[in-house]
Structure 1
C-alpha cells in the first residue's frame, strides 16, 4: 500500500519496454509530442539517469527520449513485481521527469517510468533491455491511475489546473477519484483517498458514497453510517443513500428497517437493479426465499448480470 501511495502521489505515465535478447547496441532516440491543456506551458525534460535537463520547450513541442540499452545502469527506485502468468519479472524505474510550469496554473511534476523485463523461457533467462515501443501504453484519458494524462501514439497530453482554491480542489477531486477507480478492490486505499477529498470538500457526494461502500466492505457499519447520514441529511430522497442504509441495517440485524429503506429507494429509482439485488439478500436473510428470488430475477431483467446466476 505504501508503494502504491508513493507512486500515485505524482502525475504519472508508464512507458513500457519490451523484451530483447541482445543489449549491445544503442538505438536512436524516439520523438514524443508533449502537449498540455491549456497549451503554452514551459516544460523541462529531466533525464533521471543522467541527472540533467535533456530538453526544454513550450507546449506543444516534440522531445527526444533516449532508448536505453544497458538496463542495469538505468534503474532507479527499484520496484519488483510479477506479471500475470508468473513467467515474467520486471523492474520499474523513473526514466524521465517532466517539470511543467505555466503562470496562473499549478506546477506539475510528471514522472515517466521505464520497465525492464526478464522472461523465463525453457529454463533460460532472457533479459530485456529498455526499448521504447512504437506507441505509449495508454490510449485515452488515464483515469485508472489518477494521472490526468492523455496518452496516445507517441504523444502525451497533461491536464493543468488553475492555481486557485477551486482549481486545486478540482485537481484533488479528479486525481483521487481516479485513484479510487484504480484501487477499486482495496477498501483501505479508497478510504484514504476519499478522506483526503472529504477533509477539503466535506459535501463531495461521490467520495461519501465510495467511502461508505468501503467501510461496509470492511464490516465497519458505524463509520459507513456517518457518511450515509451525511448524504441523507443533504437529500432525504437520495436512493443511493437509502440503499446503503438498507445494507447497513441488514448487517446490523435490523431487517424490517432494511426492507423499509429499500422500499423507499425503489419508490425513487424503480429501475435500479442494485436495489433489488440488495433487497433480495435481506429477504433471504429473513427466510423469505420466494421474495428473494423474485428480486434476483428483477435485478437480472434490469441488466445486473451478477444477479442472473447469484447463489445465496
Structure 2
C-alpha cells in the first residue's frame, strides 16, 4: 500500500474497523473511505455495486459483520448466517468487479472445530464439528475464506483471510444480552461495585481457556499483513497464550476494584473448552503483540467506566 492509495474500511465504527482506521492514520494513510450502515447497507447488492463503482478503492479491509456472544449467536441463528453471507459476498464480489488490488477478509477463531487440538493451527480448518452455539456464524466465516481462495484461484485476485482470536478494546460492545465474555465481565463487575452488589454471577464453570488480543494490536497486525502477506488459506492473529475464564474474572475484579464474591453458574454453557491460536506462521513473518492483558483491560475500563452510572 502506498500512502496515496484509496483504502475502504468496511465496518469502520466497529471495534476492529475503528482500530484499523486509527492504525492506518497513524501510519500516514489519509485517503480512507467508509460508510455507516445507514449510508450503505452491505447486505444490499445494488447499493454495494454502486458504492464500488463510484469510489473505486485500491484496498479493502472487510471488517463489517454481524457479531455477538453466546446468547446472540444461539438466538439469532438465521440472522447471523444470512447477514454475514450477504455482507461478505457483496463486498468480495464487487471488489473483484472493480479491480481492487487487495482485499483482507476478517474471520473469527470460531471457524475451528470445537475440539480442535491446541494450539489451533491454520490447517485444522474443516477437520471436525463446530461449536453448536455459533455454528451459523462460523459457517458464514468459513464460506468467506473459501470465497477469497476461489476468487484468487479463478480470477487471480489477491485476497487474504485473517483469523483473530478473542478481541477487546475501544468501541467494544458492552450490552449484557449480546456482548462477549470480557466486556460482559467488565460491565457486570463495574455495576456491582457501583451498587454494592455482594456477588457477580459468571456463566459456566470457569474452566474454559481463552486467548485475548487488544484491538489495537489486531489492527497493527492487519496493516502489517496487508503489506507483507499474500497467500491463500488463512493466517491466525493472536498472542500465543491463554487464560481460564475464572482467572480472567479475578483479573477483571482486580482492575475494577470489586470486592464482592464471584459465583459460577454451572447450568450455563461453557462453549468450546479451549481456544488458543497457533501463531507461529505470523511470528515467522516478524509480527508480535505488544499490549499485555492486564494493561489492556485497565485501558479499556478507564475509557468506558464513566459511561455507566
Greater RCO (CA < 8 Å, at least 6 residues apart): 2
Scaled by the length of structure 1, the TM-score of the pair is: 0.24
More helix by share: 2
More strand by share: 1
Scaled by the length of structure 2, the TM-score of the pair is: 0.25
